[in-house]
A and B are shown apart, each in its own frame.
Chain A
Amino acid sequence: DTAVSQTPKYLVTQMGNDKSIKCEQNLGHDTMYWYKQDSKKFLKIMFSYNNKELIINETVPNRFSPKSPDKAHLNLHINSLELGDSAVYFCASTSQDTQYFGPGTRLTVL
């Protein structure tokens, strides 16, 4: 019954590696997002897709590449991970102005 799900929940990896985070929503929403929440709990938008089309790209380094195979999925691939990428990443989908968030993926880069 999970509305917005993300995998994995935790991701620990070495600097320089490439990793992916997957997101799926079963709410039938057209718009999905990726947010980054840093250690100070500040939640910042990274990307937004509407029906598989990129509509927002918030000056995120091009090491981050979102991919939306269909409107229920929005995955995030990160190349050449850096220490500063350590954060919690949240996927969300939206209906009528309300955001529905996934449980988050805590990424730790060593």
Chain B
Amino acid sequence: SQKIEQNSEALNIQEGKTATLTCNYTNYSPAYLQWYRQDPGRGPVFLLLIRENEKEKRKERLKVTFDTTLKQSLFHITASQPADSATYLCALDEVGASKIIFGSGTRLSIRP
């Protein structure tokens, strides 16, 4: 069966360190993968999209990698700050179905 797993429900790291979140999937062949940020009481906000033919994408302190052989995406936040504390969701498209499927999220806490 198809699955998307963000294998840390919660991650707690020290300010200034790099946070690395993992998204694994099985039985999908996505054309792209996305990462969203969700703060408590708010809707998810789009951060980055990476396509199947791209290995890496960066945006300011964010970096996403996409390994279609391992069926895995890594999401990095460098020089992390307490303001980066939020839940991060990965999502991938279900080809031919006109929809994206979300993982269950990783709650990231950055302690000062």
Interface residues of A (CB under 8 A from B): 4, 31, 33, 40-45, 48, 50, 55-56, 90, 92, 97-104
Contacts and interface: CB of A to CB of B under 8 A. Distances in A.
Interface residue tally on B, bucketed by range: 20 to 34
Given A101-B44, A104-B41, A41 B100 contact: no
A49 to B, nearest CB: 11
Interface of B: 32, 34, 36, 38, 41-46, 49, 87, 89, 91, 93, 97-102, 104-105
A95 B87 CA distance: 23
A43 B46 contact: no
Contacts of A92: 43
A97 B93 CA distance: 8
Contacts of B98: 31, 48, 50, 55-56
Interface SS, B side? strand
Interface SS, A side? strand
A48 to B, nearest CB: 6
A101 B101 CA distance: 14
Nearest to A106: B41
B99 A97 contact: no
